[in-house]
Chains A and B, each alone.
Chain A
C-alpha cells in the first residue's frame, strides 16, 4: 500500500517534467541537462521525434500507435502517416497498428524516422474483443472470427445481419427480398426447434442491445464468438453465439471530420414469371376453356409491375467528427438513411445520432465515458402485404387496374380475389420507432494492477403504429383471408369494422443494465496470468403500452390520426384492446469469472465460469452454471520449429464449454397465469370462467448447449497464406419446447418444458492468401467454407410426451389445407421434407404419386400414410469468397457467396401451378405445357422440391482514393458498388435464398417479394 502511495508523487513529477521539457524542446540539450545535474545519473534528454509511417506499398499508415516502451506515453499517426512524440535517446518506440506487424525502433541521435511497417504476416496479432476484455489473437484458445468494417458487405443495407452475410464461416445468414424483415442468422446449425437461433449481440460492452440502433458506418469491428469457450462468459444467452460490435471512438489528436454517403438505385432483379394476358389466353384456348366475361376486359396488366416501383432510390449520409486530448476524447455522428422499398407505399427513413465522450480523471486513474445513441425511424408499409403480393401473382392479366369510370376493377364474386393495386391505395400503415441507448462507463486503475470497470446502460425502444383501411377496403374486402408468414400456419378470416377501420398501438420496451468487473494481469518470468471477476444485472420490460382498434369514420381523410371521430358504438362489436400477456418483465443476474494463463505464450489455458439467474425459469431452476475451458499450443514457438521455414505460425486449440439458451420463453412461461377460458351458466347468467392458460413449470430451465471445438491456426509461406480450420461438436440437451401434456395433469394440454436433444457437427475453414503484394499492385483473396450436419436426437420430455414425429410447415395453399411439408423426427435433421413423391403422369394426364409401399402409384395419395422422406433443407456447404485488388489508388473488391447441397420446397410454385383453375387465377408461365385437366399436379410433392444450390455475385465495389487533393482534405474516396449482380442457380423460384432459420427452414412460401439489384455510388471524405 505504502509503495503505491509513495509512487504517486513520482508520477506527478514525471508528468510535470514532460510539460516543462516539451515546452523547452528547442533549447540546447545540455542546458536542459544542466538543470538536472548535481550528483545524479545523467538525466533523460527529451527531444521531439518526428517522422512518417508507411506501409510496404508506400501508402501512409494512419492510426498507428507509437508508444514509448515501458511508459504510458503514446501518440497516433495522422491519416498522412505523420507523427511526432517527445522521447529520449535510448527510448524504444513501439509502432503498432491493426494489420501491421509491430515494430520497435530505438531512438538514436536522429530525430526524424521514416518507418515502414510490414503488413502483419498473420492475423494473429489482431486485437480481439472477447467479452469483458480484449485479447490478442495469438493468445486465444477459442473460436472467434473478427470482421473489420472494410470487410463488411457494402450496399444500401439497413440490417446488421446482412452486413455479415457470407463473411463468417458457420454463420448462415439468409435475407429475404423484403427490406423490413431482418435476416435470419443461424450459427453452426439450428440448435433448437423453438427459436430462430439468432445470436446475441453485445455492443460496446452492452449486452442485448437492439442492433438496428447502429449505423453501419459507426462500426469499428465485429467479433463473432462461436465456440462455447468464447461465449460461455455470456452464459444462458450465448447458445447461438455472441456477436460483439465495437463502435468507432474518438482518438487523441486533431479533430477529425468525416463524411460518408451514397446514393443507391434499386431495380427488380427477379420476380415470379406469371403468364401474361396473351399467354394465358392462348393456354385457355388450347385447352378449350375461356375467361369469364367478368374478368376478360381485354387488358394486358402486369400486376406484379403494377404494385412495384420502377426504381427505388436510397440515400445515406453519415457525418462524424471526433477528437481528443491526452485525457479526453469524443466522437459524434449522425446518420440519415432513406430506403424506399421496391413495393409501392413502402419506405424506411431513419436517423441515428450518436455521441460519445471519454474523460480521464484522478491522474488518469479513472476514465469516465458516456455514450448516447438515438435511432429514430419511420417505416411505411402496406397492410396485408403478403395478401397483396399473392393477389399480384394470382390476378388475371386480362383485367384492368381501373374501370373506364376511374373506379378500381374488382371481381368480388370470386372469393379470395382482390385487386392488389386497390388494396395498396385504399389502405395505409406506418410505424415509428425510437430507440434510445445511454451507456455510462467508468474504468478505474486500482492498486496491485487491478482494473475496475463499471458499465451502466439504459435502452428505451418505443414503437408507434397506425394503420387505416378505408371505407372501400372495409366494404369490399371484409371477410378476406390473410396470408401470413410461414411460421404461422393458419390463414385467418379478417373481419373489418364498417366504414373504415383504424388501428393504433404504442408500446415501449426498456432495458436497464449494470455490469461491473475487476480485471487483473501479471507476468512472472515466463508465466503470465490474467483474471476477470464480475457481476451483471439486467432488467427488461417489454410491451409496456396499449393498442386500440376502432371503425365507422365519417370520411376517409382522417386516417388513423383521430380516433375521436369514429363511432364504433353504433355496432355491437366494440373497440378491440388487443391480447392478454403483452406486458412482460424479465430479470437476468450473473456472476462470472475468467482466468487466462500462458507459459512463454506457448502453452495457453483459459477457463471461465458464469453463474446465471433468469426470472423466466422455474422457481426450482433459476440459477445455473456455465463453465468452459480452452487450451492452445503455439507449436511454432517451440524450439524444434525454429529450424523449419514452412510455418511462420502454427497453433492448435481445443475447448469445451456449456452455454444456455432461453430464447422463445415468455417472461412468465414457468408461472401459473390465469386467463379467460370461456363462459358458463352460473345463476342463470353467462359468467366468465377464468383458469390457468399457462401451466406452471417450476422446473423449467434453459436449454444446455455443450460445444467441443478443435481448431488449427496457421500461416505458411512467410505469412502469405493464413488459415484457420475448426471442427466442432455441438449438442443441445433439455431443449425448451411446448410439450403436449396429458390434460388430466394440465387441463390446457401443453406446457413449456425441457426435453429434446439436437446435435450439430461441422467443419469450418478460412483461408486468406496475399497472392500478389507489390508496391503498385496487390491481390488478396479470402475464402471461407462451412459444413454442418444437423440431427434431431430426441424430441421428448421424461414427463411430457412432445411426440416423435411433429409435422411442420403448412403453407395452406388453395385446396391444400392441413398438408405439412416437413417433419421433425428423431434421427432426421431439422428441415427434413416429408411429403408425397411425384411419379409423373398416367395415361389420362393425371399426376401420380408413389404410395407408402414405395411401388404402387396412385392419383389420390393419403395424407401422412403415403409420405416419403424427400430431401433436407440444410445446406452441405456454405461459401464466402472475397477478392481484393489494389492498383495504385484504385481498389476493387469482389465478393461471391454460395450455398450448396440444400433442397428447397417450392410451395410458392406449387400454389401457382394449377392449370385446372387457370380460368379463375393466373398461373406460372411454366404451366403452359400442362393439361388443364390435371387437377392433381399442384399437390405438395417432390415435384416442387428443388435443388437450392446457388452462387451469387453478392457485391462488387470499385473505389478510387484521391491523394493530396487539398491540405484540408485528408482523405477522399469515391466508389461504386453493385449488389446481386448475378446468381447462378437452377432454382425456379424468385430466388434460392430462402429462410434457413427456425424449425422449418428451406420453404419457399409466399416468396413473392421481388429480389432487387442495387447500383450504388458513394463517397467517403475525412477532413
Chain B
C-alpha cells in the first residue's frame, strides 16, 4: 500500500490543486487603471482633463471655419489650387457642402469626442471619487461641458443621438432637435445647483454657474428657431442672473482689443471683466484631438506681414517666428458693418495700404508677373509696390475653381482680421490667445435682442438702453435713439467678429439664405449640416438629415 500511496499521492495532490489553478485574470498593475487611478484630488483633476483638452481640439480652427466660411464673415479662396483642398472651403461658401465635407466630418467627430470623453470621465469619477460636495461640483461641471458640446452639435447638425453612459456600445438613433434641446436644458438646470460661483483663475476655462446661465440664455434666445417655441422671457431671466451677479462688467473702450491678445485670461485687463466662459489656448500645450491650437494669425495675416525671407518679401510687422499662410479674409458684405469711424472695433482689421510701425510704406519687391500673373504672365521685370489689402474678392484665375490666383494681387485680396492678435511670444504658430465662448457683452446684446423679439423688459433695461450700454464702451459716436432687430444684428457683427457665433446669428436673423460673395444658394435645409459620412459609417442607426 505504501507503493500505491507513492504512485498516487502526487497526481492526487495535483488534481486537488487544479481548481485553484484556473485563475486566469491578470490585472494591469503596471498601467494606470481605474482600480488604482485616480486616488486623490490631483488625480481627479487630471481625469477631468481630457474633455477640456478635446474641447480645445477643433474650436480654434475647423469649428471656426465651419461657422464663419458658411457665412459672409469670412472666405478662404484658392490660390492657384493651393488651399483649394478638395473644395472644402468653396463648398462652405457656396452652401454646396456634402456629407463628405472635411469640416462637416471633422467637427461632428470632434463634438462626439468631447461628449464621449465626458461620459468616460463621469464613469471613472463616479466610481472613484469619494461622495461629497467636491464630487458633485466636479460631475456637474463636466455635465455642463457635455451640454455645451451637445448644444454645438444640435446647432450644427439638428437631430443628433444622445448618449450619456460610457460602456454601452449599442448604436443610438437620432433624437429630434426639440428633444435634444430639452435634454440640454435639463442637464444644465440639474447641474446649476452644484456649479461654482467663483470667478477667478481657479475656475477659468471651466463651467461655473455663470457659464451655465450664459449657455441657457443662448439656448433660449434661439429656442424659437430650434423648437418652434419662443423662450425670450427665459432668456432674459438667464441674462438677468448674470447681470445681477455683479461678477462681470463691460470692459472699457481702451481695453477692448487687449481682451483678445495672447496675454488675455482670468487676470488680464478686459478679459477678466468680460469673459464668462473662454477656451484657454497655450502655445506649449499638448492635445489628443485635432490640432488643439489657435492658428488665427497663420490663416489671416498676409504672407508679407509675418516672418519674411528677405526685406523684398515684406516686413515682419508682428514679429512672429513663422511665415504666415494668409489665404483667408473677410467679405466686403461683412466689413460693411464697420461703418463708424469712432468704433474701437475697427482696429481689429488690416485694410488698405500697409505701413511699417514707423509709418514708412510696407513695400514688396517682386516681378511684374509676381505681382499680377494674369496680366503680366512671364514678365520678370522687377516691380516694387506698397502692400495694399483690397476689399473685394475677385476670382481672377478663371481656369481654376474658386481661385484668386497666387500672385501678390491674389494674396492680398480681402481685409484681414487680427482680433486674436498675432502672438510674438510663441515660438510656434500656435498662439496664446484664449478664445471666448461667452462674453458679458453677449449677455447684454442677447437680452436686448430677446426684448426686441417680444420678451418682457426687466431691471429697468430696454433693448435700446442695453445696446447703448455696450456702444458707450465701444464707440465715441452718439448713442442710438432707435433700435431694430437689424441694428442689433449689425452690432453683433461688430462685436463678435471671428468669435465663432456668426453662423448662429445669421440663421436666427433669417439671413442665412441671403447672397454674399459668390453664393446664390437659398436652400433652407442647409441651416443644419448633413450627418457626415464618418458618422454614418460608425453608427449604422443614423439616418441622413432631410434633403441631403
Binding site for B on A (CB under 8 A): 1, 4-5, 8, 362, 365, 444, 446-447, 452, 454, 516, 518, 535, 537, 539, 580-581, 583, 585-589, 591, 613-615, 619, 622-623, 667-668, 671-684, 686-692, 696, 740-749, 799-801, 803
Contacts and interface: CB of A to CB of B under 8 A. Distances in A.
Contacts of A680: 49, 52-53, 56, 205, 280, 285
A206 B476 CA distance: 88
Contact of A687 (B34, B49, B540): B49
B49 to A, nearest CB: 3
Interface stretch (B14-22, B207-215, B395-403, B447-455): B14-22
13 contacts: A5-B1, A446-B11, A518-B11, A539-B26, A587-B24, A614-B24, A623-B24, A667-B26, A688-B46, A691-B49, A744-B161, A745-B169, A800-B538
A799 B120 contact: no
A535 B116 contact: no
Given A587-B26, A680-B49, A686-B284, A535 B18 contact: yes
A691 B121 contact: yes
Contact of A672 (B33, B52, B115, B204): B33
A692 B113 CA distance: 13
User: Considering residues A623, A667, A686, A747, which has the most beta carbons from chain B within 10 angstroms of its beta carbon?
Assistant: A747
A679 B286 contact: yes
Contacts of B47: 674, 689-691
B201 A684 contact: yes
Nearest to A685: B201
Given A447-B4, A537-B21, A615-B24, A677 B53 contact: yes
Interface in B477-498: none
A690 B113 contact: no
B266 A589 contact: no
A743 B113 contact: yes
Given A5-B3, A800-B169, A689 B116 contact: no
Nearest to A668: B28
Contact of A619 (B4, B25, B48): B25
Nearest to B202: A683
Interface string B187-210: 000000000000001101110000
Nearest to B114: A747
A741 B169 contact: yes
B121 A799 contact: no
A407 B119 CA distance: 61
A740 B206 CA distance: 30
A176 to B, nearest CB: 34
Q: Which of the listed residues B10, B46, B170, B287 has the most CB atoms from chain A within 10 Å of its own CB? A: B46
Interface of B: 1, 3-4, 6-8, 10-11, 14, 18, 21-34, 37-38, 43, 45-50, 52-54, 56, 109, 112-113, 115-117, 119-121, 124, 161, 163, 166-172, 201-202, 204-206, 265-266, 280, 282, 284-288, 292, 535, 537-540
Nearest to A586: B26
B31 A581 contact: yes
Contacts of B18: 535, 591
Contacts of A683: 201-202
A759 to B, nearest CB: 24
A583 B21 contact: no
Nearest to B22: A589
Contact of B3 (A8, A535, A613): A8
A690 B37 contact: yes
B4 A741 contact: no
Given A535-B18, A589-B24, A681 B282 contact: yes
A799 B7 contact: no
Nearest to A518: B11
A746 B169 CA distance: 8
Given A686-B284, A749-B113, A672 B34 contact: yes
A454 B17 CA distance: 14
Contact of A677 (B50, B170, B206): B50
Nearest to B115: A744
A204 to B, nearest CB: 21
B285 A690 contact: no
A681 B113 CA distance: 19
A985 to B, nearest CB: 41
A801 B167 CA distance: 16
A678 B286 contact: yes
Contacts of B1: 5
B163 A745 contact: yes
Closest CB pairs A-B (n = 9): A689-B49, A691-B50, A747-B116, A613-B24, A681-B280, A674-B32, A615-B26, A678-B53, A673-B31
Contacts of A535: 14, 18, 21
Given A447-B7, A682-B205, A746-B116, A588 B24 contact: yes
B33 A671 contact: yes
A744 B112 contact: yes
A799 B49 contact: no
A741 B171 CA distance: 10
A678 B120 CA distance: 16
A766 B369 CA distance: 74
Contacts of A746: 116, 120, 169
Contact of A674 (B31, B171, B201, B538): B31
A673 to B, nearest CB: 4
B381 to A, nearest CB: 27
A747 B120 contact: yes
Nearest to B27: A671
Contact of B7 (A444, A676, A803): A444
Contacts of B7: 365, 444, 446-447
A742 B112 contact: yes
Contact of B204 (A667, A681, A741, A800): A681
Contacts of B29: 585
B8 A446 contact: yes
Given A446-B11, A680-B280, 12 more contacts: A587-B24, A673-B28, A678-B285, A678-B286, A679-B282, A682-B45, A683-B202, A684-B202, A687-B49, A691-B121, A692-B120, A747-B116
Nearest to A615: B26
A691 B280 contact: no
Contact of B46 (A446, A588, A684, A689): A689
A588 B23 CA distance: 9
Of A444, A587, A671, A675, most buried by chain B (CB within 10 Å of CB) is A671
Contact of B285 (A589, A622, A668, A686): A686
Contact of A622 (B24, B31, B38, B121): B24
Contact of A799 (B38, B45, B109, B170): B170
B121 A678 contact: no
B50 A690 contact: yes
A691 to B, nearest CB: 4
A673 B32 CA distance: 6
Nearest to A747: B116
A676 B46 CA distance: 9
B119 to A, nearest CB: 8
